[in-house]
Amino acid sequence: MKIALIAHDHRKQSLINFITAYKPIFQQHELFATGTTGKRIMDEVGLEVTRLQSGPLGGDQQIGAKIAEDDLDLVVFFRDPLTAQPHEPDVTALLRLCDVYRIPVATNEATAEIIIRGLNSGWLEWRTIKESVGIYNE
Ligand SMILES: O=C(CO)COP(=O)(O)O
């Protein structure tokens, strides 16, 4: 599976801790991340990550583009709900595209834990059945 990993500054250490805890699972998958998050994952967890731009410089939009191209299966985005972001519209757009394309998205540890354990148990295999993954069009 292709997994995007993103965290705002005040949530980065929590994401690093989370990925470290589940490293044996994450290392079985193809990882993508926004710039600063990706550097920390590589340096501090030792996982290989394809780094995109930093969030404020367009990284969230690049992740969104991958979703629109059906090139991403899961998003773990530890958002900071207490700090205004200069690129808030990009954050909103990314989360919106997750809903448009029915991409599982975790914005905190509680949800991420369930999704990553589910991923490891094969609960996301439906994503590989392309016919079931259509866009939101009701
Ligand atoms: O701002 C971000 C997500 O909106 C994350 O970007 P960085 O990983 O470059 O800090």
Residues with CB under 6 A from ligand 1: 6, 8, 34-37, 54-56, 59-60, 91
Whether 138 maps to a domain, the answer reads no
pTM over 0.90: yes
Residue span of the structural domain in which 70 resides: 2-133
The per-residue pLDDT for range 55-66, each reduced to its tens digit, is 999 999 999 999
Rounded (to 5) percent helix, strand, coil in the chain: 55, 15, 35
d(CA 16, CA 109): 11
Q: Give me the pLDDT at residue 132, please.
A: 55
Q: Which of 78, 34, 76, 41 is nearest to 56 (CA)?
A: 34
Q: Whose CA is nearest to atom 9 of ligand 1?
A: 54
Catalytic residues: 60
Ligand 1 atom closest to 87 (CA): 4
Residue nearest to atom 5 of ligand 1 (CA): 55
| CATH number reported for the structural domain that contains residue 108 in this entry | 3.40.50.1380
DSSP 31-55: EEE-HHHHHHIIIII----EE---G
What's the mean per-residue pLDDT of the chain?
94
